[in-house]
Structures are given as structure tokens and as C-alpha cells.
Structure 1
Amino acid sequence: MNDNPDTLTVLAVDDEPPALDELAYLLRRRDEIVSVHTAGDATTALRLLRDGGIDAVFLDINMPGLDGLELAGILRNFAQPPSVVFVTAHDDRAVAAFDLGAVDYLLKPLREERLAEAVRRIAERRRAGADNTPAPAASDEVIPVELGGVTTLVPRSSVRWVEADGDYARLHTATGSHLVRIPISTLESRWADAGFLRVHRSFLVALPLVTGIRSVGSGLVVCLRPEGDQQVVELPVSRRHTRELKDRLIRGPMQTWTSR
């Protein structure tokens, strides 16, 4: 890696020459990037990466032989692994990508403003490493959401509750909702340490926002603190989740999970 945290040497990897040429062209337009290497397959990419000097890899996922996710898994074992940004036409591999520590996840066709955001994230992580301080975005996972050809990054900290929708999940925030191709069971496991709790087979809630529970008919609902012009949100609590919810609330969620 180069020693200047304000400049980047990057590697673009894609098995489709037109896509690789476009990615390299867009990367070379960024002032922060001083050098762009290219590779048409993971084997070539790995050889370049083992030679050192690469700060970040912009990596396609679907490639013959070793695919992008497998290559990223190998890079995690490097003494100084480069930052990884996935560039793909598929929006259903984001969970696996972020499990591998990806800095960002870009959907094709690439938009310059999203590429600029990914470069900014890499630069922040580089500067944070140089200062021996944690990267600003490291504690808050982001979920890429595609709507009408536009990719929006939804921070986990903005999610108030999650609603199951078949094999999908709907993320509810103060400004709207976003459908993502991630099962609610996956988010339940991933976000447990961030203060999210399953209260019903269809609902996962952010415990720091819970203001209480109350009886409605023969069942219970959990109440979430309103934000902005929103009304108080009430979601059903199933019998099998009631005890854990009460135990977690008694332990003081506001003190325990304030850094969602």
C-alpha cells in the first residue's frame, strides 16, 4: 500500500471487458486515485494483489473460476488487506458482501456519485487507520436498497423496525420503508448485538426505541417512540417472544444499546 492516506492505488476486477473499461475510466476520473490497475479474472487479480501496493479493490462478484466473494475471503487473510468494494449487477449478495467486510456494494450500471461515495468511504478508512482511530462508518452497517434504478444506502441506525415480507424484509425508518432481498431471520441474527429483538415472526424492533408494552384484547403490543410527525407505532408481540422482550426491557435497553 502507498504511504499517503490521501491518495489511493486501486485495482478494478471484472471478467467483462466493456464493464472493466468503464469502471477503470470512472476510477481514473477521481482525483484521490493516483493509479488504476485492471484484471479480467480473480487469478490475475490475486497475483497483482500479492505484489502489494494496492489500497482498494473494486470487484465484480460473478466471474468464472474464483468468484469475487471467494477472492474477498482470501484477501481477509492478508496481513494488510485492501479495502473491498463490490461492483455487481445483482442486489441479492449484499449480506454476504458485508459479512466479508466490504466497504461498499455498488450496483451496475454504475453512477458516478455512488462511485464517489465508495471512494470517500475508502479514503476515510485509510485516514482512520493512519491515525490509529476507528473508521467512522465501521459501527453502523449500511444496506444498499435499489428503487427505480437508484441505489440508496440505509444505515442500520436509521431503522426503527423490520417487517417480514416472504423471503424479503421491509426496513421501516422515520422517512419511509425499503424492501430488501434479505430474510428477516438473517437480520435478526446480524443485528442482535446492535439492540434489535424479534418480537413476532413478522417483526424485529430496535429496543432503544421501545417505550413500553400494553395489552390489546388477548394479546400484547410493543410501543415504539414516535419520530418527527409520526404516530406512536404499535406492533404485535407473540407469546413465544413475550418473556424475552420483558426481560430485555427490564435490563434497560436505553443504557445498553444507545450506539445502534
Structure 2
Amino acid sequence: MLRALAVDDEKPLLEELLYLLRSDPRVSSAEGASDATEALRRITRALESGPEGPDGIDVVFLDIQMAGLTGLDIARLLAGFARPPLIVFVTAHEGFAVQAFDLKAIDYVLKPVRPERLAEAVRRARAQLGDPAPAGDPTTRPALPDPAAAHAGPPAGPPTAAGPRGPAPESTGPDHAPDHIAVELGGVTRFVAIADIAHVEAQGDYARLHTDGASHLVRIPLSTLEERWAARGFVRIHRRHLVALGRIDELRLDSGTTSVRVGSAELQVSRRHARELRDLLLRRATG
């Protein structure tokens, strides 16, 4: 049985990762850390406790891009210990794979995390620790040839927080008619008010919805949301960004580049969209 530590500074993604790990019968415990400092504190306590101690950690599921120390920084620090825990990187970025495996990571899982892909990482961790899955275990399968191939596209399957099967529909029930969009987290469907969404960021075939206090990942391309929500005042400002026009606080022009401030986020505006956005904001300001 594995004792796991999951590290991610995005709370919804950390919660989803912990939910999946705790649902795996091969994982005896899964704790979370929301930043590098907390992660290092827990890992240090585990190393001091020893492999069989009450605070022991067998494997760390580690995000790469975090505020402060990155996941790669943490892995480099752990490499200096005699018996560090195993490392599985869980990241939205493919470009760090070479560095990750140079640091002896046993796996590299791309976000959005699919349950079956995470189950494979758990299997590899058990095998590395000398505890291979028994014959007939459905998670036992040959190692994948490279990290990118493991994420070539989610197959049909039960919905997850990071990627429900097919596009997450805008709710059409009497209480949530088209003013909400359905998102899922840990098997629970929540309805996010579209009016609460300040901007949307493209992440491949997925989109991250940013509200004032949270973010939600849905399996809908940004282009689809642009078409659906144009009448609600959402405008495309960049190939990666869709913004609620009414949530733009500032338009900034600096050395030929244009950006907007939406709450605490500063988003770049592409040249292609800059003139149209300025015209829209001007018409809105003059009524």
C-alpha cells in the first residue's frame, strides 16, 4: 500500500488529485500540500520519521509550475537525500519531461488527469517499491513509450472534474437555465453562474473558467464558448483568452502592446483583436 503526498498550488486540482488517489485501493493514505514550503515540511518530517515511520511518504505527486519553488526545484532538493520518496510529476506542460526524467521521476502525468492514467502511475510506483500488482489486476499493462503518448486524448469514460465525457453542458433545468455552466469536481456536479466568470483561458481542448475566487476546468474548446457566450458580452482578445467585457477594469497600452486588467489578472491582447476591443470598450463607455 502506498502513502502519497500530492502537491499543487491550485486548490481545485489538488482536491481532484486527492480524490482520485484516495479512491484507489492501493493507496493507504493521501495527503495534500498547497505550496512548496508545506510540501518540503511534510517531506522532511517523513524523512526524519524513516520509511516505516508514522509520517512516511512513499511517493510524491508533484506539480511543476508553482509560486516560489517549482516542482523541479523540490525534486532537485530531494535528490540529495539517501532514500527520498518517489516522484511523479503532474503538470499541464509537456515541455519539462526531459528535465523530469533526468531527476529520476518514475512518471510524468499531464493535466487534466484521467483516472486510468493516474492508476498507471500508482502501479509504476508500487512496482518501483517492489510491490507489483497481482496477476489479473486491471491496472497492469506495459509501460507507455513516452510521456506525451500517455495523454493523446481522453477515451470515453466516466466524467472527472478535469474532463467530463464530452463537452460540459450549460445547464438547462428550471433552476439553472442557460445562466449557468455545469462543472464537475470529484464526481460532484456544480453549477457556476456565467455572470460570475471574469475570463476564460484555453488549455488545449479544455477551457479554464476564472471567477473571482476560484477556477474550473471544463472540456469545451475556447472557440465553442466564444460562439455560445458572444451574446453575453464575452469577447476574444487573444487566441488563449476570452474575457467578459464588463469585467475589464483597465486597458493598457505600453510600447505598442495592449493588455487588459481583469481583477488581479493582466491579460495580453493580440494585435488582431486590439482595435476591435478598444472600439467595443469605447462604445460601452459612451453608451
* TM-score when normalising by structure 1: 0.49
Q: Which has the higher strand share?
A: 1
